[in-house]
């Protein structure tokens, strides 16, 4: 497997760097837990990557080592850990221009600065084999200062005044919130906290915060607040009481739905026609309705009745637009 190959080659690099007298092929095969042919292939791969591997014969045996001029550098990570860091840089690309993305890039730069040029090039080539292409997401570079202020307010537990624009109506209002947690979900950053205006726990989209100012007033997180419990019943981000939801999907969509976890409460029943029935206990009817509509005619809401009516109404409106 790819991971085994990376780990083995990493051990080979470290072994050759330690052994100035050279290491024999049989010893390397035993230490790496592989056959001689595999060691040959790994040595070829390292030489192709630019590592100065040399060999000399003593008593009829070949011994392999790096040239004396080679310096490995300080590397306190395994190759899998380094790849995971590079992978996370791609994962956080949706937050490009913010402290989250900039910080992981800075950490990677510090790690690379401690590597020798051959090792740095080798790891760059390995990282190129693992890429993440982000799906639809919001651009957060222009909210960099807002995100930094929110992070500080969360860590220091300071109440904040925000100017907020609602998503559906576009209405603007000034609110005072106690920010409990910054949450990234579905390509969007949110802040969850106590809203002094409604005296409830509310969720606010970061990109709809038009202005923010942290106060000097400290707050305490409500003792009964549990983030996992608060988000557990939500299908998306809207916290509503959970209801039993049953949706039938036709055979065309069955594999797609079956291969994914849509909610922790889900269960699936196969149907004789190749379709399936999905059961979940969730809230957030508007988000659910939009999700069901994304399947076109391939999904039918069986219950609850209110969700079925919401989807049906949206379909009728859409159909009327084509008359």
Mean pLDDT of 11-30: 86
Among 97, 165, 95, residue whose Cα is nearest residue 137: 95
Strand blocks (E) in the chain: 23-24, 53-58, 61-66, 158-165, 172-185, 188-195, 200-205, 209-218, 243-249, 267-270, 276-282, 299-303
Q: Is pLDDT of 159 > 90?
A: yes
Mean pLDDT of 210-231: 94
Dump pLDDT digits (tens) for 242-273.
Answer: 999 999 999 999 999 999 999 999 999 999 99
| This prediction's pTM | 0.71
Dump pLDDT digits (tens) for 45-68.
Answer: 888 877 888 888 888 888 998 887
d(CA 99, CA 147): 8
pLDDT band at residue 76, thresholds of 50, 70 and 90? low
Q: What is the pLDDT of residue 127?
A: 66
Task: Return left, alpha or beta for 18; rule: phi > 0 is left, psi -120 to 50 is alpha, else beta.
Answer: alpha
Among 69, 76, 72, 27, residue whose Cα is nearest residue 46: 72
Q: What is the DSSP string of 169-233?
A: T--EEEEEEEEEEEEEETTEEEEEEEETTTTEEEEEEGGGEEEEEEEEEE----TT--HHHHHHT
Please give the biggest Cα pair distance in the chain.
89
Looking at per-residue pLDDT, the higher value among 159 and 236 belongs to: 159
Q: What is the dihedral of CA 39, 41, 45, 51, to 10 degrees?
A: 40
d(CA 121, CA 115): 9
Mean pLDDT of 163-192: 93
Please provide residue 102's backbone torsions phi and psi, each rounded to the nearest 5 degrees: -65, -35
């Amino acid at each position: 497997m790819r991971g085994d190959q990376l780990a083995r080659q990493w051990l080979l690099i470290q072994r050759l760097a330690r052994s100035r007298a050279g290491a024999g092929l049989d010893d390397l095969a035993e230490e790496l837990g592989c056959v001689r042919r595999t060691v040959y292939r790994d040595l070829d791969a390292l030489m192709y990557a630019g590592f100065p591997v040399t060999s000399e014969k003593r008593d009829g045996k070949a011994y392999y080592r790096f040239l004396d001029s080679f310096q490995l550098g300080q590397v306190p990570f395994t190759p899998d850990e380094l790849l995971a860091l590079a992978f996370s840089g791609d994962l956080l690309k949706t937050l490009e221009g913010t402290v989250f993305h900039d910080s992981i890039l800075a950490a990677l730069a510090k790690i690379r600065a401690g590597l020798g040029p051959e090792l740095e090039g080798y790891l760059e080539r390995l990282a190129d084999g693992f890429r993440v292409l982000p799906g639809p997401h919001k651009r957060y570079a222009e909210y960099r200062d807002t995100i930094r202020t929110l992070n500080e307010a969360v860590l220091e537990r300071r109440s904040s005044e925000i100017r907020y624009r609602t998503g559906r109506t576009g209405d603007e209002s000034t609110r005072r919130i106690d920010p409990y947690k910054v949450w990234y979900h579905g390509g969007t950053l949110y802040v969850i906290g106590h809203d002094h205006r409604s005296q409830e726990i509310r969720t606010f989209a970061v990109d709809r915060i038009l202005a923010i100012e942290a106060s000097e007033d400290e707050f305490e997180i409500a003792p009964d607040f549990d983030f996992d419990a608060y988000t557990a019943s939500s299908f998306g981000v809207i916290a509503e009481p959970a209801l039993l939801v049953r949706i039938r999907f036709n055979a065309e969509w069955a594999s797609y739905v079956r291969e994914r976890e849509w909610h922790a409460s889900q269960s699936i029943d196969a149907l004789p026609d190749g379709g399936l029935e999905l059961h979940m206990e969730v809230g957030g009817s508007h988000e659910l309705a939009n999700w069901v509509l994304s399947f076109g005619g391939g999904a039918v809401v069986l219950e609850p009745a209110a969700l079925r009516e919401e989807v049906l109404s949206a379909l009728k409106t859409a159909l009327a637009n084509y008359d």
